[in-house]
Amino acid sequence: MIKDLKKYTYMIILGAKYIKIFKNIYNSKFFPTTTKYKKLSHERQNYSNKVLKYLNISVKTIGELPERDKMVYAINHRSLLDIIVMEHIFSQKNKNGTWIAKQELFDAFYGEFFKNSGCVSVDLESKRGLVSFFKTIKKLLSKIDDLNIYIFPEGERNKKDELLPFQSGAEKIAKTNNLDIVMVYIDDKLEKVYKKSPFSKTKEVKVYISKPIKPDNLEENYHKFVEDIKK
């Protein structure tokens, strides 16, 4: 109980600190769009590295991030800790990117974090919202030469062992903007990992990274990617 209380207190205080940092960058009239997104990516990575250090979680990657940018990263999703683990990985290559998040996350109690940290919201229930979303992505990619797109193609947190059916967003973004896709598989249930943290002995999480692929048949290719990992 005391361990959990300390953990939640740490996360709340650190999150509040970084929301202020994000707001100062996101609302600045002095930074151009390119600079804003690079700074926001850098600060998200700083935040994530601090969280993992506090929780005593290390990350082992199997496969490497591509050197080139303007990629769609398709990642499985079981916990909010997934974003933190991925930002840690992106920090090792100083990647610049934006997360795609459902509108409901922007409206939640931690919505300020998403609103100001460079994420792009999507309203899956609104046709007008979807049109606006794809226009926003295209505009950002046209302005920022090294922007990567981070997305959970399952569309929601998965509490099952098997993958959920993929939504079409990742593939559509890649096809519309002529981007390759990097498949990423986090081989752990990070919701359970987070609940057991912080660890006295370092907990290692494995993350598998594919080589870039063309956006056709993403769901089929992703299932094959995971099957090969499990062999």
CATH (domain of 133): 3.40.1130
pLDDT less than 50: residues of the chain: none
Burial degree of 190 (CB within 10 A; 0-12, 13-18, 19+): buried
Model-wide pTM > 0.75: yes
The 8-class DSSP code of residue 76 comes to -
Q: Burial letters for 9-18: b for 16+ Cβ neighbours within 10 Å, e otherwise?
A: eeeeeeeeeb
Length of the chain: 231
Specify the number of domains making up the chain: 1
Residues 55-67 have pLDDT tens digits of 999 999 999 999 9
Range of the domain at 120: 2-230
Amino acid residing at 31: F
Give the C-alpha distances (Å, rounded to integers) separating 52 from 46, 80, 82, 225.
10, 13, 11, 26
